[in-house]
Homo-oligomer: A and B are copies of this chain.
Amino acid sequence: MDEIDRNITVALQLDGSAGLAELAKVAGLSVSATAERVKRLEERGVIRAWRADLDPVAAGCPLLVHILVTVAPGKDEAAFRKAMRRQAAVLECHAITGDWTYLLKVRLADLPALDAFLNDELRAQSGVQRVGTLLAIATVKETSILPVAPADPEE
């Protein structure tokens, strides 16, 4: 994971369809050497997948909501996590520090869908004690480009 690998990963996050020729230029290597690097990044699990990046609005999910949840400790929690994983609308679910237990990122089509989600999916879960809803009014920035760290010299 040297400087070259970092340049490659950044470039591939920005545009994975550019092709090896152009990637080789930013990497400063030959085409096949660049292909070797990319292959190794995949094998090492740094690159998990190649994905199409969709426009949420065009895809029919204009509503973005972050939901804070307090779940009572106990074995209900496993069921809660499983339910969150099953829900396609739940893009993220993190256990967090502070007054709340979980933070969800949810994308929905409209407010009725939000109402249905809160009542039927979330509050219906046993153990859920408190729900806080943070509706996104405007999205200033939303990217999946990871700031690839300068990384430790080893490895």
Q: Does A61 contact B (CB under 8 A)?
A: yes
**Is the CB–CB distance between B52 and A12 below 8 Å?**
yes
Q: Which residue of B lies closest to A49 (CB)?
A: B53
Q: Does A1 contact B (CB under 8 A)?
A: yes
Q: Does A31 contact B (CB under 8 A)?
A: no
**Is the CB–CB distance between A143 and B97 below 8 Å?**
no
Q: Does A137 contact B (CB under 8 A)?
A: yes
CB distance from A39 to the nearest CB of B (A): 12
Docked Cα-Cα span, A33 to B78, in Å, equals 44
**Per-residue B-contact encoding for A32-60, CB less than 8 Å = 1, 0 else:** 00000000000011111111111110111
**Per-residue B-contact encoding for A112-151, CB less than 8 Å = 1, 0 else:** 0000000000000000000011111111111111111111
How many residues of A are counted as interface, with CB atoms below 8 angstroms from the partner's CB atoms?
67
Q: Does A3 contact B (CB under 8 A)?
A: no
**Is the CB–CB distance between B53 and A137 below 8 Å?**
no
Residues on the B chain within 8 Å of A132, using CB: 98
**Is the CB–CB distance between A46 and B59 below 8 Å?**
yes
Docked Cα-Cα span, A134 to B69, in Å, equals 13
**Is the CB–CB distance between B107 and A141 below 8 Å?**
no
Docked Cα-Cα span, A93 to B141, in Å, equals 5
Q: Does A27 contact B (CB under 8 A)?
A: no
What are 8 pairs between A and B in contact, CB < 8 Å? Answer: A9-B54, A15-B50, A49-B52, A49-B53, A60-B149, A88-B147, A93-B141, A98-B132
